[in-house]
Amino acid sequence: MVKIGKSNVESTPLGLGTNAVGGNNLFPNLKDETGIQIVKTGLDSGITLLDTAFAYGMGHSEELIGQAIKGYDRSKFVIATKAAQDTSDGDVKINNNPQFLKKSVDDALKRLQTDYIDIFYIHFPDDQTPKDEAVAALNEMKQEGKIKAIGVSNFSLDQIKEANKDGLVDVVEDQYSLLHRDAETEMFDYLRENNISFVPFFPLASGLLTGKYSEVVDFPENDIRHGNPDFTGERFEKIVEKVNNLKPLADKHGITTAQLVLAWYIKNPDVTVVIPGAKRPEQVQSNAKALNVSLSDEEYAQIDNDFRNI
């Protein structure tokens, strides 16, 4: 188990990203029943962190998780959710206003049908709210027992520093993968020095790091992968070649390429919890097996070096 920042929240080092659970605005053809089964499969497979957000289906992902967790011991797993999208006037605007964030916590509690949220993130920074004031509002929610840890997501390093002015930030969630490594130079030093956990999103690079792609895919416009430069041209070909080079090591361990990549994150000292998503329950079961994979220091370094300078 790993600890989240300075809080008392603990989790397995592999969680479940749920943007495809109720995230009908992100992916086409999602079924609610499948989403509920994905969550249950995660909990049944020993995963103890569910990562969701209001933005996944504009509250629908949270609602489905609220249904899925009925019958499970709430003390045995962790829920992380996020808010910043204000839809009160019909449009979607990013809002970090303290009152809005406090209302967002209360609304999420209702959708999730739970008494507390383990980790609550400000999903995106707005342009006007001082970040330490936004975090102070979440700290009030923490004092009331409604949340247990405070996070920020998609913040620049300067915004993280402003948010953490009073030392209240426990965790940062941002893009990081073997393909997107800016966080290593931009924020990891600061996070380490301030005992702030790090959770990467898109750890499997929208499926690219699983080894399932060998030719360019034209995703529909209502798919969040549409127009992603990782899936086009020379960059795509280079990535596919690097991923294919992982296969011998995966075969040596008797695991899939995806499990090997997830094991690399689990061993990475700067990653606290890795949260791969899934569109099918079988993917969740497969990802969970990465918890039992042990890479040597040499194998970890080999993967690390192979994916530099893509």
Boundaries of every domain in the chain: 2-207+269-293
What CATH number does the domain located at 2-207+269-293 have?
A: 3.20.20.100
* Amino acid 242: pLDDT: 95
* pLDDT above 80 (res 227): no
* Amino acid 232: pLDDT: 80
By CB atoms closer than 10 A (0-12, 13-18, 19+), residue 124 is middle
The closest alpha carbon to 196, from 153, 146, 147, belongs to 153
* Amino acid 224: pLDDT: 65
* pLDDT above 90 (res 116): yes
* Amino acid 275: pLDDT: 97
* pLDDT above 70 (res 19): yes
* Amino acid 216: pLDDT: 65
| Per-chain mean pLDDT for the chain | 95
> Does pTM surpass 0.85?
yes
What are the CA-CA distances from residue 193 to residues 5, 81, 136, 189 (Å)? Answer: 11, 25, 21, 6
Q: Is 56 a catalytic residue?
A: yes
The closest alpha carbon to 274, from 255, 286, 287, 285, belongs to 287
* Amino acid 139: pLDDT: 98
* Amino acid 183: pLDDT: 97
Which of the four pLDDT bands, split at 50, 70 and 90, describes residue 273?
Answer: very high
Which of the four pLDDT bands, split at 50, 70 and 90, describes residue 231?
Answer: confident
Share of the chain above pLDDT 70, in %: 97
Is residue 169 within 8 Å of 139, Cβ to Cβ? Answer: no
* Amino acid 279: pLDDT: 95
Which of the four pLDDT bands, split at 50, 70 and 90, describes residue 223?
Answer: low
Between 108 and 236, residue with greater pLDDT: 108
Which of the four pLDDT bands, split at 50, 70 and 90, describes residue 218?
Answer: low
Annotated catalytic residue within 56, 176, 213, 265: 56
Tokens matching residue 18: 């749920």
What sign results for the dihedral spanned by CA atoms 187, 227, 218, 230? Answer: negative
Which of the four pLDDT bands, split at 50, 70 and 90, describes residue 30?
Answer: very high
